[in-house]
Amino acid sequence: MSMDIPAAEAVFAEIRAGKTTALAAARALAEAGVRSYRVDFLTSVMTLFGRDDDHHDIPFPRMSTEPVAQAFSARGIEAALMSMRGPDAQHAAFPAKLMAAGCTQYVVYLNGRRAVYLGRDGDGHMIRMPGAQK
């Protein structure tokens, strides 16, 4: 099954608008045939990867006028993730918080239930999503 690109793009529009939860979005993306996705703050591109190793690039509008911080902070990444929990989460502010923590890109692996956040010099921080195997 190839990706349903319009459905996947609609999920990301809902995420940016704060109209869905992370778990509901993950479910919808998987149903649309998305295996993983990468957001690159330096190139302003999001790449969706399908189950058949197909891929699709989506322009990802820069959500901050500030550049990505030079120093990578795993604590900053954790703080950004914690800010996304609860009903008052500001989804539009999430990318700027990651960039302030020195994250140049991140990859979400839906099947593996992991996300990896990377800095410009190879620093990284991996988190396991709920339900992930250790």
pLDDT digits 0-9 by tens, 19-70: 777 778 888 999 999 999 999 999 999 999 998 889 999 888 776 788 999 9
Average confidence (pLDDT) over 103-113: 94
Q: How confident is the model at residue 117 (pLDDT cuts 50, 70, 90)?
A: very high
Count of structural domains, the chain: 1
Residue 129: DSSP 8-state: P
Which helix (H) or strand (E) is 121 found in, with range? none
Average confidence (pLDDT) over 66-77: 95
Average confidence (pLDDT) over 80-85: 84
Q: What is the domain-level CATH number for residue 43?
A: 3.30.1810.10
Q: What is the pLDDT of residues 85-101, one digit of tens each?
A: 766 666 667 888 999 99
Model pTM score: 0.87
Average confidence (pLDDT) over 73-79: 96
Residue 120 domain-assigned? yes
pLDDT of residue 129: 82
Residue 89 domain-assigned? yes
**Domain that residue 67 falls in:** 5-128
Residue 134 domain-assigned? no
Residue 34 domain-assigned? yes
Residue 12 domain-assigned? yes
Burial class (CB in 10 A: 0-12, 13-18, 19+), 62: middle
- Is residue 107 within 8 Å of 36, Cβ to Cβ? yes
pLDDT of residue 125: 96
